[in-house]
Homo-oligomer: A and B are copies of this chain.
Amino acid sequence: MSFFGFSFKPRRATSAQTAKDRLQVLLAHERRGGSTAPDYLSHLQSEIVEVIRKYVEVDDEGVDIRMEKGQDVSCLEINIELPCGATAVRGTQS
Protein backbone atom coordinates (compact mmCIF):
# COMPACT_ATOMS: atom_id res chain seq x y z
CA MET A 1 0.00 0.00 0.00
CA SER A 2 1.69 3.19 -1.07
CA PHE A 3 0.63 6.58 0.09
CA PHE A 4 2.49 9.45 -1.53
CA GLY A 5 6.16 9.28 -0.68
CA PHE A 6 5.72 6.57 1.92
CA SER A 7 4.87 2.94 1.52
CA PHE A 8 2.90 1.92 4.57
CA LYS A 9 3.41 -1.71 5.39
CA PRO A 10 0.66 -2.84 7.84
CA ARG A 11 2.52 -4.89 10.37
CA ARG A 12 1.57 -8.58 10.88
CA ALA A 13 -0.53 -8.12 14.00
CA THR A 14 -0.24 -10.73 16.71
CA SER A 15 -3.57 -12.23 17.71
CA ALA A 16 -3.69 -10.00 20.79
CA GLN A 17 -3.35 -6.98 18.52
CA THR A 18 -5.92 -8.08 15.98
CA ALA A 19 -8.80 -6.60 17.98
CA LYS A 20 -7.09 -3.24 18.19
CA ASP A 21 -7.13 -0.28 15.93
CA ARG A 22 -3.76 1.38 15.44
CA LEU A 23 -2.68 4.93 14.78
CA GLN A 24 0.79 5.46 13.33
CA VAL A 25 2.37 8.87 13.13
CA LEU A 26 5.60 9.37 11.24
CA LEU A 27 7.45 12.66 11.16
CA ALA A 28 10.48 13.06 8.93
CA HIS A 29 12.54 16.23 8.97
CA GLU A 30 14.70 16.35 5.84
CA ARG A 31 17.46 18.93 6.07
CA ARG A 32 19.17 20.22 2.93
CA GLY A 33 22.97 20.41 2.82
CA GLY A 34 24.28 23.10 5.15
CA SER A 35 20.92 23.60 6.84
CA THR A 36 21.33 24.81 10.40
CA ALA A 37 17.72 24.21 11.35
CA PRO A 38 17.49 22.86 14.89
CA ASP A 39 16.07 19.39 15.42
CA TYR A 40 12.63 19.89 16.95
CA LEU A 41 11.12 16.45 16.45
CA SER A 42 11.75 15.56 20.07
CA HIS A 43 9.83 18.67 21.07
CA LEU A 44 6.93 17.84 18.77
CA GLN A 45 6.64 14.32 20.11
CA SER A 46 4.74 14.89 23.34
CA GLU A 47 2.59 17.69 21.94
CA ILE A 48 1.37 15.53 19.08
CA VAL A 49 0.38 12.75 21.47
CA GLU A 50 -1.52 15.38 23.51
CA VAL A 51 -3.39 16.51 20.38
CA ILE A 52 -4.33 12.89 19.62
CA ARG A 53 -5.59 12.44 23.20
CA LYS A 54 -8.15 15.17 22.52
CA TYR A 55 -9.81 12.90 19.98
CA VAL A 56 -9.37 9.39 21.27
CA GLU A 57 -8.64 7.68 24.56
CA VAL A 58 -4.98 6.68 24.60
CA ASP A 59 -3.55 4.25 27.13
CA ASP A 60 0.06 5.13 28.06
CA GLU A 61 1.04 1.50 27.67
CA GLY A 62 -0.24 1.52 24.13
CA VAL A 63 2.13 4.30 23.00
CA ASP A 64 5.46 3.31 21.40
CA ILE A 65 7.81 6.10 20.33
CA ARG A 66 10.99 5.69 18.28
CA MET A 67 13.36 8.33 17.05
CA GLU A 68 16.09 7.92 14.47
CA LYS A 69 18.51 10.71 13.61
CA GLY A 70 20.41 10.54 10.35
CA GLN A 71 22.71 13.16 8.89
CA ASP A 72 20.11 14.62 6.54
CA VAL A 73 16.90 13.11 7.86
CA SER A 74 15.58 12.75 11.41
CA CYS A 75 12.57 10.54 11.82
CA LEU A 76 10.11 10.11 14.65
CA GLU A 77 7.61 7.26 14.73
CA ILE A 78 4.73 7.17 17.18
CA ASN A 79 2.70 3.96 17.30
CA ILE A 80 -0.52 4.05 19.27
CA GLU A 81 -2.61 0.95 19.85
CA LEU A 82 -6.20 1.84 20.46
CA PRO A 83 -8.01 -0.64 22.69
CA CYS A 84 -11.01 -2.08 20.82
CA GLY A 85 -14.00 0.14 21.25
CA ALA A 86 -11.74 3.11 22.10
CA THR A 87 -14.26 5.85 22.25
CA ALA A 88 -13.79 9.21 20.68
CA VAL A 89 -13.19 11.78 23.38
CA ARG A 90 -14.68 14.68 21.49
CA GLY A 91 -17.56 14.51 19.06
CA THR A 92 -15.91 13.61 15.75
CA GLN A 93 -18.88 12.42 13.79
CA SER A 94 -18.52 14.41 10.58
> A8 near B37 (CB under 8 angstroms)?
no
Q: Chain B contacts of A94 at CB under 8 A? A: 39, 42-43
Taking the complex as formed, is A63 at the interface, i.e. its CB lies under 8 A from any CB of chain B? no
> A25 near B27 (CB under 8 angstroms)?
yes
Number of this chain's copies in the assembly equals: 2
Q: Chain B contacts of A47 at CB under 8 A? A: 51, 54
- Considering the chains assembled together, what is the distance between the CA atoms of A85 and B36 in angstroms? 7
What's the least CB distance linking A41 to chain B, in Å?
Answer: 9
Taking the complex as formed, is A21 at the interface, i.e. its CB lies under 8 A from any CB of chain B? yes
Q: Which of B9, B37, B44, B86 contacts A6 (CB 8 A)?
A: B9
Q: Chain B contacts of A31 at CB under 8 A? A: 21
